[in-house]
Amino acid sequence: MKRALFAAAALACLLALAPERAHAQHGLSLGTAVRNAAQAFSQRLGSGYRIAVISMEADHIVMSNFLVDEMIIAFAVMDGPAVLDRPMLNLFAREFGFLTSQETDDETAAAIGRSIGVHVAAVGRLERREGYSYLFTARIIDTRTAEVIDSYSATIRNDNLVASLLGPEGRRPWLPEEPEPEGLLRILREADASAGLGLSFDLGGGSNSESDTEHIYIGAWFFMGARFFEWSFGVSGGSITDLWSTDTESHVNRFSAISFGSTLLLKRPFMVRPDISIAPLIGAGFKVVVATRPYGDSWWLTGSAPHDTVKFSAGIGGDFALTDYRFIRVRLLGYYGIRLGSIIAGADNLRIFGGVVKVGLGFKP
């Protein structure tokens, strides 16, 4: 009898002294909860949708990154919606200025999802409860209406994985982050500023009532600009062929030329894929022939602007991202212009038509 009473008393003491330990063992593992959420959402949506994990909030950025990565992986291995992968998510986060580690409300998540071209946005949160357990919640949002399609919640036990990501006491100091840009750098990033250089190829010709002309140039191209405009200039070398004809005779003049040109373009970019954007282009510019050399003769500087041209351009361009900070820029432009020499001479305007192909390597701050 005494042994039974002693055993009962010992058991009561153990239960009284270890409530926190018993509570810590209650709940699902974190990985299981994330996979269960992704599975429930995949079954609800089925295939034919595109989904992006917009944000997963936690007390530590390491935990937030873990939750985002695990959710993306869980969606990727299931037969359900197509999920935006992590590199593309990071690219969009930089492009549209959101953080995957901060809480995002339904309206904001839907707006971000529409901007990046997905049908559904997934958001979630891991928060500490009383004791040593945690509550994991997640929901999926229709990006068109900002309505919650489905939600999931589960109690998470504080096991070794959670402790390693948040620390033994449930949180630990945040890791150093890249400081927010300030001053000029911040202005440049907000404006989506860029600059770069490359090669250009220009082929064209023209005519008036008295003459015809043809030209071809190959040169170097430098550009700089922001989201809605681009200013470029370049130096190129090539050849010009002019033909004059009358009722009784004709003359052909062929010579090499060095020119300097500049163009200001307005643009409206549209994202086709996370790493590709295209933009219609329209603008104006000029080309100045600074030196010429008739075939078999020596170079001489031009002074009367006989071949200088004012031109109006339109076309299409594309940017192809290599990294967050580097990209390939392509420009396909057609132009219409007038030679200044014909205006100065008081002759019939010599109209110029042509096309330009430009390819360059660009950089962002």
Predicted confidence (pLDDT) per residue in 183-206, tens digit: 787 788 778 899 999 999 999 888
- Interatomic CA distance for residues 186 and 192, integer angstroms: 10
Q: Tokens 């974190």 map to which residue?
A: 30
The first and second tokens of residue 104, run together, are: 């995002």
More confident residue, 99 or 54: 54
Find the helix packing angle between 61-76 and 30-45, rounded to 10°: 40
**What are the pLDDT digits (tens) for 307-354?**
788 999 999 999 998 877 889 999 999 999 888 765 555 555 678 899
| C-alpha 135 chain-centroid distance | 34
Is the separation of the CB atoms in 221 and 360 below 8 Å? Answer: yes
| C-alpha 289 chain-centroid distance | 37
Alpha-helical regions (H) of 77-169? 86-96, 106-116, 160-166
Instruction: Count the neighbouring beta carbons within 10 Å of the beta carbon of residue 228.
Output: 13
The first and second tokens of residue 359, run together, are: 């390819």
Is the separation of the CB atoms in 309 and 290 below 8 Å? Answer: no
Ramachandran bin of 170, using left for φ above 0, alpha for ψ from -120 to 50, beta for the remaining angles:
left
- Closest C-alpha to 351, from 304, 305, 312: 312
Cα-Cα-Cα-Cα dihedral sign, residues 92, 88, 109, 173: negative
Confidence at residue 21, expressed as pLDDT on a 0 to 100 scale: 35
Lowest mean pLDDT among 59-63, 244-248, 307-311, 358-362: 244-248
Confidence at residue 321, expressed as pLDDT on a 0 to 100 scale: 84
Q: What is the largest CA-CA distance in the chain?
A: 138
* List of E strands, 268-325: 270-273, 276-294, 300-301, 309-321
pLDDT tops 60 at residue 172: no
Phi, psi of 265 (to 5 degrees): -115, 140
Name residue 120's beta-bridge partners: 51, 142
| C-alpha 291 chain-centroid distance | 41
Cα distances (angstroms) measured from residue 274 to each of 51, 88, 254: 14, 6, 48
Confidence at residue 302, expressed as pLDDT on a 0 to 100 scale: 53
Q: Tokens 């580097």 map to which residue?
A: 326
Q: Tokens 């989904």 map to which residue?
A: 51
- Closest C-alpha to 159, from 18, 32, 56, 15: 32
pLDDT tops 90 at residue 284: yes
- Interatomic CA distance for residues 39 and 44, integer angstroms: 9
Tell me if residue 295 falls in helix, strand or coil: coil
The first and second tokens of residue 182, run together, are: 């300030």
Phi, psi of 350 (to 5 degrees): -90, 110
More confident residue, 236 or 163: 236
**What are the pLDDT digits (tens) for 34-80?**
999 999 999 999 888 999 999 999 888 888 889 999 999 999 988 88
The domains located in the chain, with CATH, are: 21-177 (3.40.50.10610), 186-363 (2.40.160.20)
Task: Read off the pTM.
Answer: 0.52
